[in-house]
Amino acid sequence: MKGLLLGLVCLVSITICTGQESKDRSSYTIDVSQLDKFHLYNRRGAVTVKATSGNTATMQVTRYLKAKSSAKLEEAKKNIYLDSTMINGELVFFVVHPDMQLEFDEERGFAGYDHSNRYRNRGWNNKNDHVKVEFTITLELPARMNLSVLNHEHPLKVSGMQGEVKARNHHDGVLVEGQGGNASVHSHHGNVEVYYTKNPTSECSYGTHHGDIKVHFKSGLSADASLYSYHGDFYSEFDWAMKPMSVAEQGRRGAKYKVKSKGETNVKIGSGGSEQRFRTHHGDVYLLSN
């Protein structure tokens, strides 16, 4: 739904084309005074989110395209772009691409890309016709807002937000700094690092497969922590006590309980509190005090 948003203004667009390459830059100003949540779903290219004040969001976008032919480049310029829509009263920016379809999970309040179209649009997936696409995005967003942000390749960084943050990456790490609200931060091939300015008040999760997880809490943390790593270790700068997991099993003679961890380590920090879930496979987990 290109151009749908009320209060969305494209301030400048500069295009540079050289043969089979194209780079254009666009700036947006968005009135978010009536909004509580902002969604940004990129695919490839660095994403940086910075907190600001007021009721206006600004976004700088650089789109880079490279194709095998000038004809394919022109086709890509028409068919691959950043678009926006509203879903359940929430603002969503996403990449339009012939090989991808944005799928929104209303229950989770998050979206991802379905790539099944690549099998129907084989011209875009053919080695001779392949188009390289990168969107480098810098978003300045009012600190009060909740944020869901997704990337797949290149770094993802979020700074200074005070609302809830959900951040996902795949082939690179995620860095969340100055976080004042609860966070859910995940990668697959990269490290996850979070710096809180105040300790979480509800369940948060941190996960990666091939990297380390480092979460910097404030002193005086009280939380229940669930930690899992297949090959890694756990490190904590907070005092903790073991907290085995009890699982109820219903039988003919009623419920019975047994201790069952499934490889998890469950601990109580301080007097306990909101659950903090840590999951990695090949990395270490650090609970640090800042």
Domain edge (last residue) among 159, 186, 209: 159
Q: What is the pLDDT of residue 125?
A: 46
In a domain, 83, yes or no: yes
pTM attached to this predicted model: 0.87
Residues 115 and 204 in one domain: no
Residues 47 and 189 in one domain: no
Residues 99 and 196 in one domain: no
In a domain, 54, yes or no: yes
End-to-end C-alpha distance for the chain, whole angstroms: 44
In a domain, 15, yes or no: yes
Residues 48 and 184 in one domain: no
Residues 107 and 18 in one domain: yes
Give the residue ranges of the chain where pLDDT is below 50: 1-4, 6, 119-126, 256-261
Residues 98 and 130 in one domain: yes
In a domain, 152, yes or no: yes
In a domain, 167, yes or no: no
In a domain, 165, yes or no: no
Overall number of domains in the chain:
2
Q: What is the pLDDT of residue 126?
A: 47
Q: Which domain holds residue 258?
A: 173-290
Residues 243 and 201 in one domain: yes
Residues 57 and 112 in one domain: yes
Q: What is the pLDDT of residue 7?
A: 55
